[in-house]
């Protein structure tokens, strides 16, 4: 049996604002997608990688991977879809095409080019947990910020409920939100990629969630939520701070610091 990976790189990177896809952003002389792919290879667990790219950038992503050292397993670039979920589905379809009956896939990882520094160790941890019997595995980190829920400012709450001693008077700025509660963060986890699945389970989860994939607003933002929707359990392994998601230029600057202070 073999473990294969879908690496998503078909987003536009609007919030990073480079004018080209985020996956092609450079981090210490390598593209984000190249960093992610080479670390998947370095785990020694993955036998094939399918990378999703935007239609207009298929060649550029292929070129970026051609230039990446350490891609030791077969890889292929396919066209992504209108949402991350649709892109993963396209990657899975490409993997179905190439599966040989003599070497079936047992594990599939789904990883984002937007997390270029997820380590080979993390990849191994996720694959090992799936092989040990967890059908669906996500890396998770405890949440360190205090988390609040908010809503629109309520007319009564804004007046200070008759507190005449306060020095603040009048209505707050219309741009303010009002806190409606504080969430117990003990059971919260911020989850990352790579996420790992039993091959047949992820195929079933995507097939069942297929109707939502065409619209970014309804699509799932990760793959494990599609497994949850089937009523199947999802398990958490320790994530890593270094596997941070690059969304903004701030995140890219943090990743620059991390990559220049590490050996690889």
Task: Note if the bond before 194 is cis, omega within 30 degrees.
Answer: yes
Q: How many residues bind ligand CTP (CB under 6 A)?
A: 21
Mask of contacts with ligand CTP, 207-246, x by CB under 6 A?
----------------------------------------
112 binds, among ligand CTP, Mg ion, none (CB under 5 to 8 A by kind): ligand CTP
Residue 103 DSSP one-character state:
B
Residues within window 62-91 making contact with ligand CTP, judged by CB under 6 A? 80-84, 87
Min dist CB 223 to ligand CTP, Å, is 11
Per rule CB under 6 A, is residue 112 in the interface with ligand CTP?
yes
Q: Which span (65-73, 106-114, 155-163, 224-232) binds ligand CTP, by CB under 6 A?
A: 106-114
Please select the residue that binds ligand CTP; options are 31, 38, 52, 192, rule is CB under 6 A: 52
Total Cβ atoms within 10 A of residue 93: 13
**Nearest of 152, 128, 154, 147 to residue 139 by alpha carbon:** 128
Per rule CB under 6 A, is residue 23 in the interface with ligand CTP?
yes
- For residues 239 and 141, the answer to whether their CB atoms sit within 8 Å is yes
Min dist CB 71 to ligand CTP, Å, is 17
- For residues 118 and 36, the answer to whether their CB atoms sit within 8 Å is yes
Residues within window 11-40 making contact with Mg ion, judged by CB under 5 A? 11
Collect all residues with Cβ–Cβ distance below 8 Å to 219 and sequence separation of at least 6.
83, 84, 85, 86, 212, 213
How far apart are alpha carbons 136 and 197 in whole angstroms? Answer: 4
Quick one: 49 or 134, whose CB is closer to ligand CTP? 49
How far apart are alpha carbons 18 and 81 in whole angstroms? Answer: 20
With H, G, I as helix, E, B as strand and everything else as coil, classify residue 203: helix
**Which stretches of the chain bind Mg ion, using CB under 5 A?**
11
**Which stretches of the chain bind ligand CTP, using CB under 6 A?**
8-15, 22-23, 52, 80-84, 87, 112-114, 247
């Amino acid at each position: 049996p073999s473990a294969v990976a879908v690496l998503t790189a078909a987003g536009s990177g609007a919030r990073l604002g480079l004018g080209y896809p985020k996956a092609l952003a450079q981090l210490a002389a390598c593209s984000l997608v190249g960093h992610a792919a080479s670390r998947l290879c370095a785990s020694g667990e993955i036998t094939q990688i399918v990378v999703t790219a935007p239609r207009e950038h298929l060649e550029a992503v292929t070129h970026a991977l051609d230039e990446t050292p350490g891609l030791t397993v077969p890889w292929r670039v396919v066209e992504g879809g209108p949402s991350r979920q649709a892109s993963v589905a396209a990657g899975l379809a490409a993997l179905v095409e190439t599966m040989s009956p003599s070497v079936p896939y047992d594990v599939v990882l789904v990883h984002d080019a937007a997390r270029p520094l997820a380590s080979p160790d993390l990849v191994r941890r996720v694959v090992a947990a799936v092989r040990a019997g967890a059908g669906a595995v996500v890396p998770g980190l405890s949440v360190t910020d205090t988390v609040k829920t908010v809503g629109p400012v309520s007319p009564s709450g804004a007046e200070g409920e008759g507190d005449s001693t306060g020095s603040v008077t009048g209505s707050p700025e219309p741009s303010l939100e009002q806190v409606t509660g504080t969430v117990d963060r003990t059971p919260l986890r911020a989850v990352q990629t790579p996420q790992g699945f039993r091959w047949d389970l992820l195929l079933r989860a995507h097939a069942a969630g297929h109707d939502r994939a065409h619209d970014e607003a309804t699509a799932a933002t990760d793959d494990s939520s599609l497994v949850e929707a089937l009523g199947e359990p999802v398990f958490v392994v320790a994530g890593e701070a270094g596997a941070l998601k690059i969304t903004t230029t701030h995140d890219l600057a943090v990743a620059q610091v991390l990559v220049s202070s590490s050996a690889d």
